[in-house]
Structure 1
Amino acid sequence: MTSEDDSSTLPRRQLGRFLRETREGQGLSIDQAARLAELSKSGLHRIETAQVAKVKIREIRAVCQTYGVPEDETERVLKLAEQAQVKSWHTAFNGLYSDSTFNMYIGLEAAARQLIAYHEIVPGLLQTADYARALISSFYRDSDPEDLDRRVELRLKRQAVITRRSDPVNLELLLHESALHRVVGSPRIMAAQLRHLAEISKLPNISLRIHPFASGCTQGLLHGPFVILDFGTDARGRQVEPPLVYFEGAGKPDLYQENADDVRRYHDIASVIRRTALDETQTRDLLRRAARSYTA
């Protein structure tokens, strides 16, 4: 990347989102916060909306002090602000975002208005507690029970974005049939998980369709899981934030693609999968049959 216009906006977006949510949590208007931090209202607004080209560390520290952000969290915010200054930002994130407060994807997921996802295991937003625990304990083999409990609790809390009564996120999940046969935990856990999918897919904001083995490879490729995040439009019809594609790192840094052509390409892939997937009624029937097979 050779210019600020070409560099990733993700660090600035995450920084702005954190500061905005913290300000609102303190019950401060943007006028009040700007005055207390000795910034202009327009300057603070540009930081919160990721429209500032160069983030100033001293301003971010002043805002954190104004909001009473603990020192350890302030240090992580300042590191994020430093990364937001780098022109040649790589869209691979690790380390800084391992803490739940600063996990890049969780913040983006919560801010999205629509998610279009292709997965080969049941994604976190639709996992039962037992399924989540089985997956997490397999990955974090050396974690103590309390740590596993915390990780499972955090994963289940994320599900509020699709189950809340007010303005839930729209989720379209294209789930490969292999997820029904890849045993996670035990047959009992699988049966409960598949029944859960059949029931939760009835929610009006959730579309779940199985991509069967018989559909073969999409466009001749084994492309792997991905999520397209769309952040909707404001009252004037303008994009709130540019859409992007997310790829879970699976032990490596997570990857993001923001380029419009890349986002369009994955919309095209999702469209092909959608055309060759079972419809929603067929999907629920298959989920229930698969669930029964685990209890036979």
Structure 2
Amino acid sequence: MANIEPEDTETTLPRRQLGRLLRDARATTGMNLDQAAALVQWSRPTLSRLERGETEKVRVTDILALCEAYGLDEDTTAVAKGLATQAPAKSWWQAYSDLIPAWANLFVGLESSATSLTTFQPLIVHGLLQTADYARALDRLHFPDDTEHELERRIRVRTQRQHILTRSRHPAEMSIVLHENVLRTVVGTPRLMAAQCRHVADVSTRDNIDVRVMPFHAGLPLGAAVPPFTIMDFGSDARSTQVVEPAQVYCEGYAGSAYLEKRTDVVKFRQAFRKLQRASLDARPSRDMIREIARRHESQG
């Protein structure tokens, strides 16, 4: 069945992310909407609109008052303040990279709320499928000034992210196309890559994870190079069947990342993914190929 994209709305990503941050903070305190609204002398509907990301103008003083009421720490309060003051933009995360460290960037918030992820990776193994050793080898190169303690914090966050695929209740669904280059490029050592490839093959047997390999001989199905991207869908409200949030496209970049929200952008990337998937091997042949590449890495180690 074809995906039906909702019409564009006026809600923008920074406001939705701010709303989710505050909603989660309130839930952690155990307060309901009425109790939290009373603390800052708001009405229940006003706070509810803010948590849904539907407030057009957000005052920083109001956000700081809520952060104080919820007992948020300085770092989280800084993130909330940054979101409250940021004008809507596709690449808003870049402007706040000094506030949001890479290991805790707000993509994790979107990812953790998604019910399904549709992903293309042409260069490296996706973070949700990385082994700890693979992630550590990458991070040592990308963050050369980190201490061992800081590197391990990054690995822990990566591991926590992966829980959305492995949790026992309602795991997120993932459909991913990996270019053959991802599997053959040696990160760390051949032995490390062998273990990483076997891990990808193993997780691809899960009912909620579909892994396809696009072989070298597939060429360029779109006639152009395509950056790594993930389409995030957030499901619908069971009571109203309304979409909880519009789908998001996250495009990775070396200096920063872009979030695409417009319906036309989401449709374009869905169409691109379908072409990439059609050019890829089916699930079973993909798994066989991944395991064969693992054996080759093992023999070189």
Change (3 A) 1:34 1:8: closer
> Which residue of the partner structure matches residue 26 of structure 1?
29
For residue 110 of structure 2, give the secondary structure of its aligned residue in structure 1. helix
Letter in 1 for 2:293: A
> Which residue of the partner structure matches residue 4 of structure 2?
none
Per the TM alignment, residue 60 of structure 1 is displaced from its structure 2 partner at its CA by 1.2
2: distance between equivalents of 1:7 and 1:192?
46
2:193 counterpart of 1:163: no
If asked which structure has higher relative contact order (CA below 8 Å, sep 6+), I would say: 2
> Which residue of the partner structure matches residue 82 of structure 1?
85
2:244 counterpart of 1:240: yes
Letter in 1 for 2:244: V
1: distance between equivalents of 2:103 and 2:10?
25
1: distance between equivalents of 2:80 and 2:18?
7
Per the TM alignment, residue 262 of structure 1 is displaced from its structure 2 partner at its CA by 1.0
Cα shift readout 1:71-113 (whole Å, capped 9, x = no counterpart): 4432332222111xx25x3424131322655x22111101111
Deviates most, 169-178 or 89-98: 89-98
> Which residue of the partner structure matches residue 116 of structure 2?
114
Gapped regions of structure 1 (runs ≥ 5):
none
For residue 264 of structure 2, give the secondary structure of its aligned residue in structure 1. helix
Q: Is the 8 A contact 2:114 2:232 kept in 1?
A: yes
Per the TM alignment, residue 39 of structure 1 is displaced from its structure 2 partner at its CA by 0.9
Q: Is the 8 A contact 2:227 2:252 kept in 1?
A: no
2: distance between equivalents of 1:284 and 1:72?
42
Per the TM alignment, residue 153 of structure 1 is displaced from its structure 2 partner at its CA by 1.3
Change (3 A) 1:274 1:72: closer
Change (3 A) 1:67 1:99: farther
2: distance between equivalents of 1:77 and 1:272?
38
Segments ≥4 residues shifted beyond 3 Å: 5-8
Q: Find the partner of 1:277 among 267, 275, 280.
A: 280
TM-score by length of 2: 0.91
1: distance between equivalents of 2:265 and 2:164?
26
Per the TM alignment, residue 10 of structure 1 is displaced from its structure 2 partner at its CA by 1.1
2: distance between equivalents of 1:204 and 1:247?
26
2: distance between equivalents of 1:195 and 1:290?
9
Q: Is the 8 A contact 1:8 1:90 kept in 2?
A: no
TM-score by length of 1: 0.93
Letter in 1 for 2:120: Y
Per the TM alignment, residue 238 of structure 1 is displaced from its structure 2 partner at its CA by 1.2
For residue 289 of structure 2, give the secondary structure of its aligned residue in structure 1. helix
Letter in 2 for 1:50: G
2:213 counterpart of 1:207: no
Letter in 2 for 1:249: G
Per the TM alignment, residue 233 of structure 1 is displaced from its structure 2 partner at its CA by 1.1
Q: Find the partner of 2:175 among 172, 176, 181.
A: 172
Cα shift readout 1:194-240 (whole Å, capped 9, x = no counterpart): 11111111111100010111111022111121111111111222111
Matched residues, number: 287
1: distance between equivalents of 2:278 and 2:163?
29
> Which residue of the partner structure matches residue 107 of structure 2?
105
Cα shift readout 1:34-55 (whole Å, capped 9, x = no counterpart): 1122111000000100011111
Cα shift readout 1:93-138 (whole Å, capped 9, x = no counterpart): 131322655x221111011111000002111000001001011111
2: distance between equivalents of 1:90 and 1:194?
34
Q: Is the 8 A contact 2:222 2:276 kept in 1?
A: no
Cα shift readout 1:138-165 (whole Å, capped 9, x = no counterpart): 1111211111111111111110111111
Q: 1:1-296 to 2 correspondence within 5 Å? A: 9-83=12-86, 86=87, 89-94=89-94, 95=97, 96-98=99-101, 100=103, 103-120=105-122, 121-235=124-238, 236-250=240-254, 252-296=255-299
2: distance between equivalents of 1:35 and 1:128?
46
Q: Is the 8 A contact 2:176 2:210 kept in 1?
A: yes
Q: Is the 8 A contact 2:231 2:248 kept in 1?
A: yes
Letter in 1 for 2:107: Y
2: distance between equivalents of 1:42 and 1:174?
42
